[in-house]
């Protein structure tokens, strides 16, 4: 029976792997992103202390507010945000890569999220408030007044009064507003571009079960998707059934948070099932922001910022310098040991570590842009620990090759059989590290997550390097005279491993039989 075996092509494997690493740097060049996002301890950032103004603050409501703020910050991808309760009415939020006003607005939005039908919409054309706050944002939190939400039929039947039109004419973007469920509202969008007269609240944010963003199949633009509960589904069905047939601008509804219109989409279809989709000229950031507003818009307490301060990266920069020196010392020690014990094979160690470092750096930069990964001091510690994990893989492979040679195999045969026997050990060892990193990432909080994430990332990169760089490189070097014939400096010489040179090269030695004396 005929059998076929695939001939190893280490040169092709090595080339493809290097092309993949090169593509990562090509993406960095196209996006002009050459440095990873730095964490709060390295880059600096903002810390804001929020104080609950409610008369009674329960531990449960404070913890719920903390969870919502954490999800808001994490949802925007600012990375390594720390949100913690302090005392019985304070929440401290620390985040890098974000400006002061953005952080205050992000975590301090306290009004109930609401959907209101649009009664009138015109270009705002108003100057920014003299106090310096941005256009379209109220100078103070909206004043809440007593009032219960009207039935959806009453909301849809509401007609603006002369007083409503007068309030609309006298309003300037940035003026304080009074937000009541059963009353109309005059508001502007977040950019101060459009001014709206809105009807009473049709749906509250409590009726939203989930909100997400993404690009649908066969489409090129971001959309925001919403899922409503049973009551919200009925309200949305009634709202869209009437608005879809209204003329502009009364066929629109506004998503209002803290007296600001976050979005005012046009109703194109009747939505009976409680699953809505908002489309428009969204970017990834704007779609994520709207989805976060819809999903985490309501806070159980009212907060005011009591302290806002900048965090200097000076101390972190000094710790970074010390950490990098420690990592460099560890790398030099590993290389010195490799060259001293494995001689010429130290070139393989050096090349593999350099490729692993290049791939790790590119992955950190690209993940910073894609998912908001930030490089902090614990993450750097994880990268330093990974040097030992990568060195373990080399030792396992090299020692397995040497064992195969001592057992009588030729050098070229040992390169293949040694890999087969070392492969499972390397994979199991790396899987243990990967599992540890995964569990630590799930259970840890704060900066420790950065250590776990980086440890897991570098472990995966170690597997890729050992499979697609180290192993094919060893096969190619085995075909050279220096390594393939066991030069004394190659690390594969016969005397160093206690075998004969003929055995190393796979030569069979013929022995001349002894002459036998014949009897006379």
- 376 vs 514: CA distance, rounded Å: 75
At 454 the pLDDT is 87
Q: Please tell me what DSSP assigns to residue 189.
A: B
In this prediction the pTM is 0.54
pLDDT by residue for the chain (520 residues), tens only, comes to: 444 456 668 888 889 999 999 999 999 898 888 888 777 667 767 788 888 888 888 887 788 788 777 766 765 555 566 788 888 889 988 777 666 666 776 676 655 688 999 999 999 854 333 333 333 333 334 555 557 889 999 999 999 999 999 999 999 887 877 778 899 999 998 888 899 999 999 998 888 888 888 998 888 888 989 899 999 999 999 999 999 999 999 999 998 876 788 889 999 999 998 898 888 778 887 888 778 777 766 666 778 888 877 766 655 567 677 777 877 888 888 888 888 888 888 888 888 888 988 998 899 888 887 777 777 778 888 888 888 788 888 888 888 888 887 777 777 788 888 888 888 888 998 899 899 888 888 876 666 777 888 889 999 998 999 999 988 888 888 888 787 776 777 767 766 666 666 555 655 544 545 555 555 4
Rounded (10°) angle between helices 59-75 and 284-296: 170
At 98 the pLDDT is 65
Question: Strand, helix or coil at 297?
Answer: coil
Radius of gyration of the chain (CA): 33
Q: Please tell me what DSSP assigns to residue 476.
A: H
**DSSP codes joined into one string, 43-90:** H-EEEEEEEE-SS---HHHHHHHHHHHHHHHHHTT--S-EEEEETTTE
At 500 the pLDDT is 60
Q: Tell me which residue has tokens 């979005």.
A: 263
- 215 vs 222: CA distance, rounded Å: 5
**To 10 degrees, the CA torsion angle through 458, 459, 463, 466?**
70
**What tokens appear for 317 in the block?**
């920069």
Burial class (CB in 10 A: 0-12, 13-18, 19+), 412: middle
Q: What is the 3-state secondary structure (H, E, C) of 150-163?
A: CCHHHHHHCCCCHH
- 306 vs 302: CA distance, rounded Å: 13
184-222 burial, b at 16+ Cβ within 10 Å, e below that, comes to bbbbbbbebebbbbbbbbbbbbebbeebebeeeeeeeeb
- Which has the closest alpha carbon to 376: 48, 47, 78, 104? 78
């Amino acid at each position: 029976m005929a059998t076929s075996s695939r001939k190893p092509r280490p040169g092709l494997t090595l080339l493809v792997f290097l092309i993949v690493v090169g593509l990562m740097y090509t993406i960095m060049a196209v996006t002009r992103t050459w440095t990873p996002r730095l964490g709060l301890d390295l880059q600096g950032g903002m810390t804001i202390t929020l104080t609950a103004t409610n008369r009674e603050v329960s531990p449960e409501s404070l913890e719920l507010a903390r969870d919502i703020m954490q999800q808001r910050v994490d949802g925007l991808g600012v990375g390594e945000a720390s949100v913690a309760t302090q005392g019985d009415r304070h929440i401290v939020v620390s985040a890098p890569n974000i400006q002061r006003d953005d952080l205050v607005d992000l975590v301090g939005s306290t009004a109930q999220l609401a959907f209101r039908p649009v009664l009138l919409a015109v270009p705002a054309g108003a100057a920014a408030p003299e106090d310096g706050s941005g256009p379209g944002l109220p100078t103070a939190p909206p004043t809440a007044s007593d009032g219960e939400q009207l039935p959806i039929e009453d909301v849809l039947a509401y007609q603006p009064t002369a007083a409503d039109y007068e309030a609309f004419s006298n309003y300037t973007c940035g003026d304080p507003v009074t937000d009541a469920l059963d009353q109309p509202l005059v508001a502007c969008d977040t950019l101060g571009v459009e001014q709206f007269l809105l009807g009473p609240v049709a749906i509250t944010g409590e009726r939203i079960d989930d909100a997400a963003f993404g690009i649908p199949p066969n489409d090129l633009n971001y959309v925001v998707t919403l899922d409503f509960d049973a009551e919200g589904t009925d309200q949305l069905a009634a709202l869209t059934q009437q608005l879809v047939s209204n003329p502009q601008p009364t066929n629109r509804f506004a998503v209002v948070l803290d007296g600001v219109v976050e979005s005012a989409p046009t109703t194109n279809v009747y939505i009976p099932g409680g699953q809505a989709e908002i489309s428009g000229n969204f970017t990834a950031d704007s779609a994520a922001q709207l989805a976060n507003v819809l999903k985490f818009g309501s806070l159980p307490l009212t907060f005011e910022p009591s302290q806002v301060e900048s965090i200097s990266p000076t101390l972190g920069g000094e710790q970074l310098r010390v950490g990098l020196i420690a990592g460099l010392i560890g790398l030099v020690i590993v290389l010195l040991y490799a060259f001293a014990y494995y001689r010429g094979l130290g070139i393989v160690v050096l090349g593999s570590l350099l490729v692993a470092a290049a791939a790790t750096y590119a992955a950190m930069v690209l993940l910073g842009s894609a998912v908001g990964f930030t490089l902090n001091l614990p993450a750097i510690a994880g990268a330093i620990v990974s040097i030992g994990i990568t060195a373990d893989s080399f030792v396992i492979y090299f020692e397995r090759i040497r064992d195969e040679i001592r057992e009588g195999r030729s050098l070229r045969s040992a390169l293949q059989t040694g890999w087969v026997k070392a492969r499972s050990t390397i994979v199991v060892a790396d899987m243990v590290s990967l599992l540890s990193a995964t569990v630590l990432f799930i259970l840890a909080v704060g900066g420790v997550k950065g250590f776990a994430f980086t440890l897991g990332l570098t472990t995966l990169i170690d597997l890729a390097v050992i499979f697609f760089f180290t192993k094919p490189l060893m096969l190619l070097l085995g075909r050279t005279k220096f390594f393939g014939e066991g030069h004394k400096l190659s690390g594969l010489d016969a005397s160093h491993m206690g075998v004969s040179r003929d055995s190393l090269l796979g030569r069979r030695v013929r022995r001349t039989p002894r002459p036998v004396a014949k009897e006379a």
